[in-house]
């Protein structure tokens, strides 16, 4: 590491940048319904606006992974700052659907650009404990979602507008932009070690990388799809669906903060196996239990999924270092892309499950929009009681498959370690 590189300040600035990313998720989720009212947007338009962030993210993270070694991490983060600031200001001064659509796209691109630069930056700054520090870095994603939802809740109570809530993101944006503009950056680990571009592309074609790339689909869906949809799916199962989200995100913050001794004790592959087991149990319980036990299920699920994202990226950084920044960012892009596709697919699956519980020939839209207290509204709520758990049980198959995949990974890594030490 170069003498003039202040890795602790760079790490703090990286956490601030990720905080903006997570605040954008939390605050936008909290104000989405109000945007619909203020700008007279229907559910389809709101869904299009919200989904735009998920398309901008993988696009930016993959493109960023391809160019970060060439242009450097600093220039990439300056670009993220510009996109974040432009997206936030455009949201505040939005005039309708297209300005909201564009602002969300810009923020999604900024979010992906942050990870495209910060994942390899953290791995470069802390080569001796990559997975641990990536867990510490990524705790700011669930942490920021908690902060964002609290901002929406408290500012609503104070009668402050959604524009003021969005404007709160400007503070950490300006801070990380200032810090990154003043600090010196190292070159990426791949460039520093002299690994050629050809060797980097060979590394992402190895069986181990392809295996982890495919597994990233499953870990991301298990964590992000379930985390985002659990409130919707269990809205009629519990009176406090938001508490389920609070428990899972809170556990993720704590779990990632204490990752070091856990990773040391069980190894990254062992942690991934344990995570898959707990996540499968947690999702299954969420789909079957009721009453107070549903919060216990949320706790188990939160413990299970909290290590997935950063440990997957950390594993690649430690065990396939020649894949470089591109390898790390392909993992992140794969995860977010998988979640966006799976979410669209399961949205239709959920609607079909609801329709199956309604009277023959019933219009799903009519029952969904029925006034509270009507027979139709009661029938729709009853149908949701079955459909939500059905979606969760279908999703629980994914971590079950991951259990077998990661059990194989544990055995493979043990054998590889024996061969190295022999």
Q: How many helices (H) and strands (E) does the chain have?
A: 19, 0
Answer yes or no: is 141 within a domain: yes
Domain co-membership, 85 together with 6: yes
Query: What is the band of 353 on the pLDDT scale with cuts at 50, 70, 90?
Result: confident
Domain co-membership, 215 together with 148: no
Cα–chain-centroid distance for residue 82? Answer: 22
Give pLDDT, residue 44: 65
pTM comes to: 0.84
Question: 111-115, 359-363, 392-396: which range is least confident on average?
Answer: 359-363
Answer yes or no: is 43 within a domain: yes
- 210-222 in b/e form (b: 16+ CB < 10 A) is eebbebbbbbbbb
CA dihedral sign, ordered 251, 29, 335, 406 = positive
Q: Could you give the 3-state DSSP secondary structure of residue 4?
A: coil
Domain co-membership, 305 together with 396: yes
**Measured distance CA(381)–CA(21) in Å, rounded:** 34
Answer yes or no: is 37 within a domain: yes
Give pLDDT, residue 358: 82
H/E segment holding residue 218: helix 207-220
pLDDT at 187 over 80: yes
**Measured distance CA(274)–CA(262) in Å, rounded:** 11
pLDDT digits (tens, 9 = 90+) for 132-164: 999 999 999 888 888 887 888 788 888 888 899
Domain co-membership, 164 together with 247: no
Answer yes or no: is 127 within a domain: yes
**For range 11-40, the mean pLDDT:** 85
Give pLDDT, residue 20: 94
The answer to whether residues 20 and 151 touch, using CB atoms and an 8 Å cutoff, is no
**Measured distance CA(393)–CA(127) in Å, rounded:** 39
pLDDT at 422 over 60: no
> Which residues, in sequence order, are CB contacts of 219 under 8 Å at separation 6+?
272, 275, 276, 305, 308, 309, 312, 335, 402
pLDDT digits (tens, 9 = 90+) for 281-321: 999 998 888 788 888 998 999 999 999 999 999 999 999 99
pLDDT at 245 over 90: no
- Helix, strand, coil in percent for the chain, rounding step 5: 85, 0, 15
Q: Pick the residue with more confidence: 333 or 385?
A: 333
Domain co-membership, 188 together with 228: no
pLDDT at 216 over 60: yes
Query: What is the band of 25 on the pLDDT scale with cuts at 50, 70, 90?
Result: confident
pLDDT digits (tens, 9 = 90+) for 31-65: 777 787 788 876 667 777 877 777 788 889 888 88
Please give the DSSP secondary-structure letter assigned to residue 206.
S
Answer yes or no: is 22 within a domain: yes
Domain span at residue 400? 206-422
Q: Pick the residue with more confidence: 281 or 188?
A: 281
> Which residues, in sequence order, are CB contacts of 361 under 8 Å at separation 6+?
none
Give pLDDT, residue 103: 93
**Measured distance CA(209)–CA(201) in Å, rounded:** 11
Give pLDDT, residue 362: 77
Please give the DSSP secondary-structure letter assigned to residue 72.
-
pLDDT at 346 over 70: yes
**Measured distance CA(376)–CA(116) in Å, rounded:** 48
Between the two ends of the chain, the Cα-to-Cα distance in Å is 31
Domain co-membership, 366 together with 233: yes
**Measured distance CA(119)–CA(68) in Å, rounded:** 11
Q: If you write DSSP's letter for every residue of 202-258 in order, what string do you get?
A: HHTTSHHHHHHHHHHHHHHIIIIIHHHHHHHHTTTT-S-HHHHHHHHHHHHHHHHHT
Question: 77-91, 143-157, 358-372: which range is least confident on average?
Answer: 358-372
Domain co-membership, 187 together with 223: no
Domain co-membership, 168 together with 218: no
Answer yes or no: is 289 within a domain: yes
Domain co-membership, 341 together with 362: yes
Using alpha carbons, select from 82, 77, 83 the residue that is nearest to residue 11. 77
> Which residues, in sequence order, are CB contacts of 129 under 8 Å at separation 6+?
260
Last residue of a domain, one of 151, 171, 194: 194
Domain co-membership, 10 together with 121: yes
In a 13 Å sphere around the CA of 142, the CA atoms on its Cβ side amount to 29
**For range 106-135, the mean pLDDT:** 92
Domain co-membership, 330 together with 210: yes
Rg of the chain taking only CA atoms, in angstroms = 22
> Which residues, in sequence order, are CB contacts of 135 under 8 Å at separation 6+?
256, 257, 259, 260, 263, 307, 310, 311, 314
Give pLDDT, residue 339: 83
Tally of CB atoms within 10 A around 90: 19
Q: What is the CATH number of the domain that holds 133?
A: 1.20.1250.20
Query: What is the band of 75 on the pLDDT scale with cuts at 50, 70, 90?
Result: very high
Total domains, the chain: 2
Query: What is the band of 330 on the pLDDT scale with cuts at 50, 70, 90?
Result: very high
Domain co-membership, 258 together with 135: no
For the chain, what percent of residues have pLDDT higher than 70? 93
**Measured distance CA(173)–CA(143) in Å, rounded:** 16
Last residue of a domain, one of 194, 216, 245: 194
Answer yes or no: is 201 within a domain: no
**Measured distance CA(401)–CA(174) in Å, rounded:** 43
Q: If you write DSSP's letter for every residue of 154-202 in order, what string do you get?
A: HHHHTT--HHHHHHTTHHHHHHHHHHHHHS--PPPHHHHHT--HHHHHH
Answer yes or no: is 199 within a domain: no
Last residue of a domain, one of 171, 194, 217: 194
- In order of 55, 123, 136, the CA distances from 333 in angstroms are 10, 17, 20
**Measured distance CA(247)–CA(295) in Å, rounded:** 8
pLDDT digits (tens, 9 = 90+) for 248-285: 888 999 999 999 999 989 999 999 999 999 999 999 99
Q: Pick the residue with more confidence: 345 or 205?
A: 205
**For range 394-419, the mean pLDDT:** 93
Burial class (CB in 10 A: 0-12, 13-18, 19+), 224: buried
pLDDT at 329 over 60: yes
> Which residues, in sequence order, are CB contacts of 297 under 8 Å at separation 6+?
282, 285, 286, 289
Tally of CB atoms within 10 A around 228: 17
């Amino acid at each position: 590491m170069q003498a003039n590189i202040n890795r602790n300040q760079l790490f703090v600035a990286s956490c601030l940048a990720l905080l903006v990313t997570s605040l954008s998720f939390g605050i936008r989720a909290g104000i989405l319904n109000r945007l619909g009212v203020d700008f007279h947007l229907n559910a389809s338009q709101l869904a299009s606006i919200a989904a735009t962030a998920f398309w901008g993210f993988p696009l930016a993270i993959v493109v960023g992974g391809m160019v970060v070694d060439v242009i450097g991490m600093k220039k990439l983060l300056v670009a993220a700052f510009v996109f974040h600031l432009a997206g936030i200001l455009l949201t505040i001064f939005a005039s309708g659907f297209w300005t909201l659509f564009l602002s969300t796209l810009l923020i999604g691109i900024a979010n992906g650009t942050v990870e495209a630069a910060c994942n390899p930056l953290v791995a470069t700054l802390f080569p001796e404990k990559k997975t641990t520090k990536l867990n510490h870095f990524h705790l700011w994603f669930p942490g920021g979602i908690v902060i964002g939802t609290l901002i929406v809740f408290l500012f609503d109570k104070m009668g402050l507008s959604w524009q003021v809530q969005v404007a709160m993101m400007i503070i950490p944006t300006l801070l990380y932009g200032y810090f990154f503009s003043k600090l010196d950056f190292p070159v990426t680990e791949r460039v520093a070690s002299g690994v050629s571009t050809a060797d980097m592309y060979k590394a992402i074609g190895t069986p181990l990388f392809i295996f982890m790339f495919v597994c990233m689909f499953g870990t991301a869906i298990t964590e992000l799809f379930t985390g985002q949809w659990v409130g919707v799916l269990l809205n009629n199962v519990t009176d406090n669906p938001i508490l389920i989200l609070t428990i899972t995100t809170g556990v993720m913050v704590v779990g990632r903060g204490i990752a070091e001794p856990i990773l040391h004790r069980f190894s990254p592959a062992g942690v991934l196996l344990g995570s898959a087991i707990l996540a499968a149990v947690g999702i299954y319980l969420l789909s079957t239990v009721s009453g107070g036990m549903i919060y216990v299920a949320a706790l188990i699920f939160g413990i299970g999924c909290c290590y997935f994202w950063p440990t997957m990226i950390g594993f690649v950084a430690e065990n396939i270092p020649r894949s470089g920044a591109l390898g790390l960012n392909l993992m992140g892009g794969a995860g977010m892309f998988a979640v966006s596709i799976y979410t669209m697919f399961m949205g239709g699956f959920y609607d079909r499950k609801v329709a199956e519980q309604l009277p023959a020939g019933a219009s799903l839209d009519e029952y969904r929009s029925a006034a509270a207290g009507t027979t139709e509204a009661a029938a729709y709520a009853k149908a949701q009681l079955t459909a939500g758990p059905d979606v969760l049980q279908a999703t629980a198959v994914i971590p079950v498959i991951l259990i077998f995949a990661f059990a194989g990974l544990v055995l493979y890594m043990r054998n590889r370690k024996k061969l190295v030490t022999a």
